[in-house]
Structure 1
């Protein structure tokens, strides 16, 4: 089993925006994230730890300005925390092993797909295309990355 964790080397590789979002609980401006319009088949992993977070088959266009997913690929890699910042109550989503701030989860997703909307910052994610998943150690998720029609 691969060990996913936050390391000094991983933090040093982050861009200033990736660091701000993942380590300082920042939020990228809506409609600016590099992965918002990504429609390729593959997996989204924590930019810090590499732990698998979301499959392309769980991604959908919500119109909110950030990549949206209906469910994580591995529930145990997601930590939900109460967030009372900015004068509202939300559920923050963090990665378990990297402790990266990912975004928030809301109960207004597609009802036919579970009703959740994981609203995630592109800066907290690294996309691994399907044809590179095996080589990068994510082969066990290949059957979960097919696009949903």
Structure 2
């Protein structure tokens, strides 16, 4: 059964009024494949471009987006996050791995907030680096882990 469809087949917001308040956390990951001409810009812990530091800008964009998820996804509840963090690293395959962790103490989870945060951080990387190459590929965005609510989830 789809949670956002009522008994008449119409879209609806999930009623969380009867749910229990609990500490909820979600971690989402986006992977961005970067070509050599972009990777050459890596100095220290960030990519430096004419538009500025890529990692730092992507982190800010991702956090801002996670906070606005209820405005972007039509049936999401507007949430005041307790915390949102974004970590960025480069793996051995020359890919940028972006992880967004969102937390809240509430009656509903923060999976969408984590997914939106990771996605917008990845899109920000693309925007900041597209002048060097259009071979940048946002390969995947997925939920990695969630805790709190009905059941916990962890992708292995």
TM-score (norm. length: structure 2): 0.25
- Larger radius of gyration between Structure 1 and Structure 2: 2
Greater strand share, 1 or 2? Answer: 2
